Chains A and B, each alone.
Chain A
């Protein structure tokens, strides 16, 4: 099991989401974050005050997946989030010790398997 953490441009967030759904990745947590990477700074002026915006708006995806889903997840994000300019973001893949589904108490791989697949299996 892995946790895929992706930091992407806000204007690319919808495309990433769409690409993930197309790759059957359905469990996604999204948050708006600010960060600093290597991108050129944005200079803004308000009356006499000129500032460099060192922190840029980004969107962070947290996606818990079973091992064989890591590759399609990462591929989907790489393809959808890229513009080619500095500031496209990063993807981190982290090992995960345990996963629980709160509703059922299911653990690990069962906890990150989409619900309808389980339902179909029971039928």
Chain B
């Protein structure tokens, strides 16, 4: 490591990991898309898909520099803006440009995660403005604190793949957004049911697949740490899924599919900060323990006035917090070679972990709130009641997820010469006295 050189195996693994993490965002589109009503399916999925473009572009132009350029303890500088100096030279053992792309996929999914709290009511334009600016103003600085040599990194906070940076950060913004934008008009007045649970299971499965790149890729090399993170990413959600299923059985007498998909995601979230720092059996225990707070928070939240519609706070906020704290408990030098946790005689690590969690919640909460208020001054944040009733697919996108071509009249692109020729419509027929 004295003179940085490219290692081909590491480069291969990080190329694959980058693609895996990018897949998580369309996977999230399916996970979230299945959980909403059919009239809002496309809008919900587009909230994730749009992040691939808007946050992806913002990351390359500015976000990467704010997160990873040399700078003060709280935010990176501008020296790498517009990808200045980001070339094929080694960053660690992989090309610098690849490192930038890999980190970009994290910014994209983190911004998309926030959408779960405000589905079925936010104006799409306001949403695009929010996630794009959020990725620069909130995500990039927090990433700098932990991974870019900022103050949490200097304190020794452990966050292997982003429990704090990604999940706690996104969940805090989600909470704030749900409060600022307000409840859906039907919330707590009507049953609002998932319209396609198979989509949600598909999304959960693809998220797990992509998460191997998220966690094992965070080793930034094809080495033993990557293997450890990989196996932990397999085991922890298994633990969560088992406990979640048992809790479902105890509460309702039935194991639910939406519960299974949710349990998998909670387990993945919880193991994220710990993946490369703890042993495989502790990972199983961590996953199992993580089920409890999220499970009961989900049940409780539904009875409150907080319309965090797809439970970003319960799944990602609590899952991320449990994971971050348990990282400080289970961290083991035998596995990570550097840091011990509480169970191995280093109680101080738990305190450092708690400080990191609180710092992320405080900054993300305040900054997300101000950002939404500023955007709200420029453009309305939510759709009006009529559009909400009609569904956001039609009102925001002019499309339907499950379109029926009965009654769809083709609008021909006519030239002036043949203007009178066209398809007579029902409305035209009515105007001619077609109805009595």
Contact = CB atoms under 8 A, between A and B. Distances in A.
Asked whether A and B interact, the reply is yes
Interface of A: 9, 11-12, 14-15, 34, 36, 41-46, 49-56, 83, 85
A54 B389 contact: no
A11 B426 contact: no
A51 B406 contact: no
Interface residues of B, number: 22
B394 interface: yes
Contacts of B39: 11
B399 A34 contact: no
Given A46-B399, A83-B386, A54 B404 contact: no
B398 A44 contact: yes
B390 interface: yes
A54 B410 contact: no
Given A43-B411, A44-B394, A54 B425 contact: yes
21 contacts: A9-B389, A11-B389, A34-B404, A41-B427, A44-B399, A44-B400, A44-B403, A45-B398, A46-B399, A49-B410, A52-B408, A52-B425, A53-B407, A53-B409, A54-B409, A54-B427, A55-B404, A55-B407, A83-B386, A83-B389, A85-B386
Interface of B: 39, 190-191, 386, 389-391, 394, 398-400, 403-404, 406-411, 425-427
A51 B412 CA distance: 9
Given A11-B39, A12-B389, A41-B427, 11 more contacts: A11-B390, A42-B394, A43-B398, A44-B394, A51-B411, A52-B411, A54-B408, A55-B407, A56-B407, A83-B386, A85-B386
A36 B435 CA distance: 11
A56 B400 CA distance: 12
Contacts of A85: 386
Nearest to B425: A54
Contacts of A15: 190
A53 B400 CA distance: 11
B406 A55 contact: yes
A9 B191 CA distance: 17
Among all A-B residue pairs, the 5 with the closest Cβ atoms: A55-B407, A11-B389, A51-B408, A50-B411, A54-B407
